[in-house]
Amino acid sequence: MPRIAVVGGGIAGAMLAWRLCEVVKGGAVHLFTGEPHRWADASAASGGLTRAFEPDPALCLEAADSLAELQSSPALREWASYRETGSVYLLPGLGPGTAGLVELVRSRIPGSISVLTAEDLSARGTFRGLPEESVAVVEKRAGYVSPNALRDRLLVELARSGASVVDGQVDAVTRDGEVRPAGGVPARFDAVVVAAGAWTQSLLARTGLSDAGLRTKAIQYVLGPSVGTGPSAFVDETSGLYGRAYAEGRVLLGLPTDRWDITPGTAPADPTLTSRILDVAASRIGYRPPAGEVKAVAAVECYHPTGGLSLRPLARGIYTFTGGSGGAGKTVLAASRTAARSLVRSLR
């Protein structure tokens, strides 16, 4: 039986290890969680928006398949603390492939998706100042998960399946498949998958392994009190604003950042970006929270030039499973299944 190591206990690593246990005996799978990093990683900070529609066809397919599986599995819904809220994805116009992607989602999750015009949205009074040609892809059955809760439950399930779950930081992964835990005994594996998120680059660099173009990037959002009804979970490509309802009567709002090549664990919230998020939220959705009741949250995520969460080979038997386009929770169910099957096939 081949021995497989997954290095990284975020949502991507934990889900991949769990998928591997579906196709090989649990005892063959070893997950190194990367403590203490996972308490400050993107899975812990993620907002967890889960929808089926994505403008990129490959991501849309994986997101639709992931949401369909989530909704069909009571266990996964419970583990992920899934809540169905609906979702709105605003686009500057109806692109040539949008209709096809809408039909793809409709085939996976019937009755969930529709397309509205800017005039339709204005009539609802939810969004303000939208460009005239804007369209909105609306999903009734979208919602959000807690990547942190799902990750923690998967660690429990992995231990129950017989997999080895090793807490503690990993110092290095070598070309010959050796994993070197900090303060522990090195072990060699037939395959090693590095799914350490923002720490992937530095981990590979310690033994001269290529990072295949991975880069780190800061992500930031604000948490504030809910004021009025507001929109459901949404992404607004015409302004960059995204948001959704959060726990305990709060709302989550954010904007994309351009803070690249950030050392993990060293990304304080940018006050200027916090102000800009609130300014855009005020103009686009009329959100004006009371002064002093907003908390900024920052973390570091890992990105790959091609986007998408997938198994990427670096050397013989060495892979990464990280570097998506952000928000890996939307595609991780389908992507991890594909990655696990591909990895096991390569070892036979």
Q: What is the DSSP code string of 137-199?
A: EEETT-EE--HHHHHHHHHHHHHHHT-EEE-S-EEEE-TTSEEEETTS--EE-SEEEE--GGG
E strands of the chain, at which residues?
A: 4-7, 29-32, 49-50, 83-84, 87-91, 113-117, 135-139, 143-144, 164-166, 170-173, 178-181, 187-188, 191-194, 215-225, 233-236, 242-245, 250-254, 295-303, 310-315, 318-322
The arithmetic mean of pLDDT across residues 71-89, rounded, is: 93
- Compute how many other C-beta atoms are within 10 angstroms of the C-beta atom of residue 167: 14
pLDDT reading at 238 higher than 60:
yes
Mean pLDDT, residues 18-26: 93
Lowest-confidence pick of 133-147, 233-247, 325-339: 325-339
Would you state the pLDDT for residue 326? 56
Residue range 206-234: mean pLDDT, rounded: 86
| Contact yes or no for 192/5 (Cβ under 8 A) | yes
User: What band does 148 get if pLDDT is binned at 50, 70 and 90?
Assistant: confident
Q: Closest Cα to residue 198, out of 147, 264, 265? A: 264
* pLDDT-based confidence at residue 340 (cuts at 50, 70, 90): very high
What's the confidence (pLDDT) of residue 270? 94
Instruction: Lay out the sheet containing 87-91: strands in order across.
Output: 113-117, 135-139, 87-91, 233-236, 242-245, 250-254, 215-225, 295-303
Which range scores top for mean pLDDT: 28-42, 179-193, 314-328? Answer: 179-193
Alpha helix (H) residue ranges in 73-146: 74-79, 98-108, 118-124
> Per-residue pLDDT for 325 more than 80?
no
pLDDT at 44: 46
pLDDT at 318 over 60: yes
Give the mean model confidence (pLDDT) for residues 243-255: 86
pLDDT of 63 above 70: yes
**Phi, psi angles (nearest 5°) of residue 273:** -65, -40
Whether CATH 3.50.50.60 fits 4-45+147-214+305-347: yes
| pLDDT for the residue numbered 45 | 45
Place of tokens 């809910």: 226
Phi-psi region of 265 (alpha: psi -120 to 50; beta: other; left: phi over 0): left
Of 75-79, 254-258, 278-282, the least confident: 254-258
Chain mean pLDDT for the chain: 89
pLDDT at 212 over 90: no
Ranges of H-type helices in 183-270:
200-205
Question: Is it the case that residue 274 has pLDDT exceeding 80?
Answer: yes
**pLDDT of 178 strictly over 60:** yes
Phi, psi of 156 (to 5 degrees): -65, -45
pLDDT at residue 231 is higher than 80: no
* Mean local confidence (pLDDT), 150-175: 94
Enter the tokens of residue 115. 């397309």
Domain regions of the chain by residue span: 4-45+147-214+305-347, 216-303
271: its two tokens: 């006050």
**Do residues 218 and 266 touch, judged by C-beta distance below 8 A?**
no
Q: pTM above the 0.95 mark? A: no
